[in-house]
Structures are given as structure tokens and as C-alpha cells.
Chain A
Amino acid sequence: MTTVRDLVIVGAGAAGLSAAAEARELGLDALVLDEQPEPGGQVYRSVARVAERRPADLAFLGADYARGAELVAASTGGERRQGATVWQIGPAGRDGSREVIWSEAGAARRVLARTVLVASGAMERPVPVPGWTLPGVTTVGALQVALKQSAIYPAGRVVIAGSGPLPLLLAEQLRAARVPVAAILDTTPSGRTAKALPLLPAAALGAPDTLRKGLALLKARDRSGVPVWRHVREVRAEAGSDGALATVRFRTASGDEETVEADLLALHEGVVPNPQLTRLVAAEHRWHAAQRCFHPVTDPWGETTAAGVYVAGDGGGTLGARAAEASGRLAVLAAASRLERLTEAARDFRADPWQSRLRGERALRRLLDVMYPAPDWIAAPADEAVVCRCEEVTAGELRAVAGHAAGPNQAKAYLRCGMGPCQGRLCGLTVTEMIARARGTTPAETGYYRIRAPIKPVTLDEIASLDSEDAA
């Protein structure tokens, strides 16, 4: 317990890997803890192994994915532990350092850190449509994980339903891998392109490559021959006699009800920060009205209101992998300067190109926020839709008490929502929005679940192993 590391980086995706590279260049004693078996996060999942063992798959996963192998290579040299699940970041001690505890191979371990960088990324927004708990319904991201991790794809009738850049990317990856898609249900409301046009020049100037890629994906989807239904609403999944997904029902732009048969339904309504770690350290969060989610409040370098705890990448606000590389670098530069390992002048000099990249990607995000608005129906899901998947609390049950609940934490006491193994990850935003709607107040005033350690389930054996480690 006597070693105090300069920096503990939680997560080895785009932000964490690029932060690790910066830390090594600056000579910081950094430790990277990542819960996945391999580095890369979600965007660059498995990339080093794919490049080495399955190089042919890079053709359909795309050049942007392949680039991740360089990021992994550039980050090596420092200590990085895979399969290391952080479940506690303690309060700041008298010297400002914090205890970071994680589980690895069935035992818990801990370290003291002068600074902590939360680079644990984002997650897809929970999409509480009726039937989203059925076997055969997944997220869009899950299908990308399957392709990257294991080169497996859904056979049979695949339906993609949602809005945003990720469904476009998945459709293109599946097309390039020659996997048929039965239908695409685009839930983007009508008239968004016209609304977004005024933001186009700034996005084109700020992030020309990302924007060009997006436009190419849109064109590719429309030329792919896959049936695309536009401005779709009220998607619901229905089971067949075997209890698994069989039918997707939805309302078309003209208001008619349609159905398509499906073996797999992939849902997506945007990406939101995974809030567990920034909430765990009790950092202040702010409601982002356009994205309908909370963002941790940070200074321009990514430091949260919890002293010495920084956030980089999509966990601080969804800007994508290119921006995550930049914010990862910036947070480490600030931490190094704070630790007096770098002058402020040197920090600012090194930061300049990354700040400029970040500004550009932010301009693109402002365009995307208008193009693909976060769905407003999340505040009012259908009565029969399950809101809390773990404890099986429906929207109807929640609505019945929402007006009397002072906030999400009281709703827990009433209904057990948010008390299952996912610890509110898949219902938190819905519960906040529904209570805000019922009480006629704002999500900001309603707040969010209180997140406490351990943020991932651990066994008593693992906790007990901390003591034996001290005795050793």
C-alpha cells in the first residue's frame, strides 16, 4: 500500500490509450486499468488481435477502426492491466491521493493515485420500447462488438431501428461483410436536415474527415438496396411462440401501422456517458438538454469537481473517438502540470493541436445534436414497456408513483427500480425523465440515482482478499 502512483487511468479505449501514451512521453508513473479482456474500448475493440490474426476483417470494419492498432501500439510501455474492473475510487486523503480498488482474476487489489483519469467511456442510451427485453433484441453496438470480438454476425432477418451515426456505420459494416439486413427503421424525425444546415459550415471546417465519413455512410445506406423506412415512431418488439423476438411493429411517417418479421432487432437512440465512476466520486453533473443526459461538469482540461479526478473521452460527453484521443491527452497534460512535472508553458504548447481538434469535433457534435435529436418519448414510454430491466419495473408502474417520488432514489424504495445487478445503468435516465415529467419539473432538478461502491458486483471473497494482501 505504500506506492502512490502519479496517475491511474480507468479504461483503455481511445481516451485511455492516448492518455497512457501522453503519460509515458511525460515520464509519469501511470497505471491503466481496463475491465475488458483486450485494449481498444468499444470503438477499437479487439483491434490489435484482429489486425494480427484476422487482417481480412479490417476490410469491412473500416479504415477508422484499423487506425486503432496504432493507438494501442503507441500506448505500450507503461503498465496496463486488462480484465481489471475498478469498483471503488475513494475520497481524497490528506495528501490529496485517492484509493482505487479493482477486481482482477477473482481477487481485489488497490493502489493509491495522486490523480485519477476516468476514461470509462459511454454506453448506448436505454431505449425502453415494449419488448426490448426479449431474447433477440440487442443494441446496435452489440452487433459491432460481435463482429469485432468474434467475427460473428446475426443470420436470419436482421432489423436495425434507431437514429444517429452508429446505425449508419453498422449498416455499412454489415453491407461490406455481405451480411443481409431485412429492414432499417430510421426513427429520426422529419425536417432535421433543414434545421441542421446552418451548422454545416462550422462542422465542415472543424471536423472535415468525420463529416465526410458520415455523409458517405448516409449515401451508402441509401444505395445499399436495404429497405429503409424513414421517420418511424412507436417501435415495439413482439415475441413468437418460443418466447423470443418474432415481429417488429412500428408506425410509419404517414401514421400507418406496419410490421416486419425479425430474428434480431438492433436498437439505437444515441450514446450517453457511462455515469458510474464520475457519480461515484460525487462529481457535479449538469443536464444536457439537447442530448437528454447528464454530463460531468469539468474545467477545460477535463478535471471534474472532485479534486484530482479527471474525465476524458465519451464519459465526459459524447464526441467520438477522435475527440477522445484529444481529451485523453489534455487531461494528462493538466495532471502533469498539477504534479509539477511540466511547466504551464510546456503544457499549453503540447495542448494546442489537441485543443484545436477538440473544438472541431465539438462543432460537428452541435450539428449531430440537431440532425439526430435525442428522443423525447423517453420521458413517456408506453405503459407496458419495461423501464428497469433487472427488477422488471414497467413504465406504467413507475408512472403510478412518479408524481409522489421526490426523486429517483425514492422511486428505488417504492419499486426497486435501479436495484438490480446493472445498478441503474439501463433505467437511470428513463426514471429521471419520467419523474421530471410527472412532477412538472426538470431532469436537472430531479437528479439521478446515488451511485456507491462497489460499482460492479463483487464477492465477499474478493473484498476479503484486500486484507490478506495487506498482511502479505
Chain B
Amino acid sequence: MMRFDRLSSPGRARRISFLFEGQPVTAQEGDTVATALLAAGAGATRSTPASGSARGAYCLMGVCFECLVEIDGVPNRQGCMVPVAEGMSVRRQRGAAGVAEDVR
């Protein structure tokens, strides 16, 4: 199973904690949601609307839409385009997304 590790070069990146499927996960400042999930070993992060097959990040640059996740209650977010933020709540997207709950 695909696993990503962090290079040991220390750098000066701040630690960020967010929730994935309700569980606390540590990321680093500068991560996108998609790279943070790769580093956390999240594996498949969505299932397709057509057949329910499992998908993970493919291009990481905004063109393939395979990394779609639900972020703070809003579905269909491209995980690779959103910087991870302290306290963010990320969930796998299962099948077709419903209409977003009114977040206001």
C-alpha cells in the first residue's frame, strides 16, 4: 500500500493539526490537504459515483480531480489545491457528493 514519508531535512515548517475522518492528523505548514493525506497514509480518499471504486491522488496539480474530498462540510474540494489549516475537518468523499450543507 502506498505510503509517503517526510524527508529528514528539518527545515523550519510549523506543525499543523487537522482532522481526517474525525481523527487528529499532523501536517506541516505548506502542505496541501492532498499531500498531508499522503503523508498521513490515508490511502484511497474517495470512491467514484459511477462504480464506487477507490481512488487516490493522481496528478496533485489540479487537473485530474481524483483527490476530491469533503472539507469542513463542503464536498467536491480538490485536496491538492487547498492549503491545510489548523483545525480543518477533512472527510473522504463517497460516491456522488450531495448538495453542500449551508455552512453559514
Contact = CB atoms under 8 A, between A and B. Distances in A.
Interface of A: 35-37, 42, 46, 49, 53-54, 56-57, 83, 85, 123-124, 133-139, 141-142, 145-147, 149-156, 177, 242-245, 263-264, 274, 389-392, 420-422, 425-426, 457, 459
B11 interface: yes
Given A142-B60, A421-B68, A46 B30 contact: yes
A155 B6 CA distance: 9
A146 B2 CA distance: 13
A149 B62 CA distance: 14
B76 interface: yes
Contact of B44 (A53, A153, A244): A244
B59 A138 contact: yes
Contacts of A245: 2
Given A57-B7, A150-B35, A245-B2, A37 B83 contact: yes
Interface string B42-62: 011000101101111111111
A154 B3 contact: yes
Contacts of B70: none
A139 B80 CA distance: 14
Nearest to A57: B9
14 contacts: A37-B81, A53-B11, A54-B11, A56-B9, A57-B11, A135-B56, A138-B58, A138-B60, A141-B61, A145-B80, A150-B30, A154-B2, A244-B2, A392-B53
Contact of B9 (A124, A146, A151, A264): A151
Q: Which 6 A-B pairs have the closest CB atoms?
A: A135-B56, A54-B11, A150-B35, A142-B60, A421-B65, A145-B60
Contacts of A457: 76
Contacts of B2: 135-136, 154, 156, 244-245, 263-264
Contacts of B4: 146, 152-155
Given A57-B7, A263-B1, A422-B64, A123 B59 contact: yes
B32 to A, nearest CB: 6
Given A54-B11, A149-B31, A177-B7, A35 B81 contact: yes
Contacts of B51: 392
Contacts of B82: 37
A263 B4 CA distance: 10
Interface in B56-94: 56-66, 68, 76, 80-83
B25 interface: no
Contacts of A244: 1-2, 43-44, 54, 56
Interface of B: 1-7, 9-13, 28, 30-32, 35-36, 38-39, 43-44, 48, 50-51, 53-66, 68, 76, 80-83, 100
Given A152-B39, A263-B2, A53 B60 contact: no
A138 B6 CA distance: 18
Given A57-B11, A152-B35, A392-B48, 19 more contacts: A36-B81, A123-B61, A133-B55, A135-B44, A138-B57, A138-B59, A142-B58, A149-B30, A151-B7, A152-B6, A155-B3, A177-B7, A244-B2, A244-B56, A263-B3, A390-B48, A391-B50, A392-B50, A392-B51
A153 B5 contact: yes
Contact of A150 (B31, B43, B54): B31
B41 to A, nearest CB: 9
Contacts of B76: 421, 457
A147 B38 CA distance: 12
A459 B74 CA distance: 10
Contacts of A421: 65, 68, 76
Given A35-B81, A37-B81, A146 B35 contact: yes
Contacts of B35: 145-146, 149-150, 152
Contact of A145 (B3, B13, B61): B61
Contacts of B66: 133, 389
A391 B96 CA distance: 11
